[in-house]
Amino acid sequence: MCFVLEHLVQPVEALKALKGILKVGGTITVIEGDHGSTYFYPDSEFARKAIRCLVELQAKAGGNALIGRALYPLLREAGFDEVRVSPRMVYVDSSKPDLVEGFTKKTFTAMVEGVRKPSVTNGLMSEADFDRGIADLYRTAELDGVFCYTFFKAVAIGNRMLNNLQRIVPDYPLK
């Protein structure tokens, strides 16, 4: 499952529901980003503030744009076993033109750019400052620019054997 949990008000409940339909010993793979993990050159406080607007607006809507860093505790809370999380950094510089276009410009910066109106309307940033932040993010896609972002990949086992046993023998002690 990719990029879903960050938009949910109750991600643990969704994970519990998914755990309930896994086969015995079945696994779940979850991939989420973490907008707080962005690093770029040249650095820009305006760009950082524009990104924070996205994080704040998503939180206001009930989501969590920083959820990647929380995958381990979320999966454990949902009852998954053998949870393994690994960070997956995307590093982009001009030697990777496909990533410059596809990720830095058309994915991440375009996503931040998409919250311009609500950011300004909610008083999170002025139009001029937000536009400068977007320009500075596009600046990271130039020849001497660098952009880094971290995704988190989690794999966990949903142990339905215990759940099935508990349905048959309701007093069966679970850990």
For residue 42, what pLDDT band results from cuts at 50, 70 and 90? very high
Asked whether the predicted pLDDT for residue 168 surpasses 60, the reply is no
- What mean pLDDT is predicted for residues 54-64? 97
- What mean pLDDT is predicted for residues 64-93? 97
119 φ/ψ angles, rounded to the nearest 5 degrees: -65, -45
Asked whether the predicted pLDDT for residue 164 surpasses 60, the reply is no
- What mean pLDDT is predicted for residues 33-38? 96
Lowest mean pLDDT among 7-11, 21-25, 76-80, 127-131: 21-25
Please choose, from the candidates 61, 34, 52, the residue with its C-alpha nearest in 3D space to the C-alpha of residue 133: 52
- Overall CATH class of domain 5-168: alpha beta
Question: Which residue has 């989690």 as its token pair?
Answer: 154
The pLDDT mean for the chain works out to 93
In angstroms, how far is CA 31 from the centroid of its own chain?
Answer: 7
What residue type is 149 in one-letter code? Answer: Y
Domain ranges within the chain, ordered by starting residue: 5-168
For residue 166, what pLDDT band results from cuts at 50, 70 and 90? low
For residue 160, what pLDDT band results from cuts at 50, 70 and 90? low
Q: Residue 73 half-sphere exposure, CB side, CA atoms within 13 Å? A: 4
DSSP 8-class letter at 2:
B
In this prediction the pTM is: 0.87
According to the model, what pLDDT value does residue 68 have?
Answer: 98
Asked whether the predicted pLDDT for residue 165 surpasses 60, the reply is no
- What mean pLDDT is predicted for residues 66-89? 97
Asked whether the predicted pLDDT for residue 170 surpasses 80, the reply is no
According to the model, what pLDDT value does residue 171 have?
Answer: 59
According to the model, what pLDDT value does residue 169 have?
Answer: 55
